Amino acid sequence: MGNIASEAAATAISAEQYDTALEWLEQGCSIVWSQLLNLRTPVDAIREKEPGLADDLVHVSQALEHAGNRNTSTQDLSPQSNQNLSMEQVAQGHHHLAEEWERLVERAQAIPGFKDFLRPKKLVQL
């Protein structure tokens, strides 16, 4: 689902519809956040098999949290941010984070025993 949001945002960016791109990325982040709420235990289990991957998942999830919580105006006044980021740069940053998240989840799902990592539970599991 996040890939769809990223592709939609990329299309909006190419059409110079930066506000729409940010909205769609934000909606994609909402989907990711619903997954992230249940992330801690699965990441702890992955850490036992692939500590680097677990660290990357945590790092990107924190970056997504920061991106989702920051003021999306072009002039963020926090001293640690670049005050000259354009809407396009912000949208592209969100897009790249979402793509990285997708790659990391795919890597996690490739680990034996983790094929359903962050996927919704199936009927038999419910």
Query: What pLDDT shows up at residue 51?
Result: 95
What's the mean pLDDT when you consider all of the chain?
77
What Rg value do the Cα atoms of the chain yield, rounded? 16
Query: What is the per-residue pLDDT across 24-34, written as a single tens digit (0 to 9) for each?
Result: 777 776 666 66
Regarding pTM above 0.85, the answer is no
Contacts with 74 (C-beta within 8 Å, 6 or more apart), sequence order: 85, 86, 87, 90
Percentage, residues of the chain above pLDDT 70: 71
Query: What is the per-residue pLDDT across 51-82, written as a single tens digit (0 to 9) for each?
Result: 999 999 999 988 887 776 654 443 443 444 55
Q: Contact 85/73 with Cβ under 8 angstroms?
A: no
Say how far apart CA 2 and CA 24 lie, in whole Å: 10
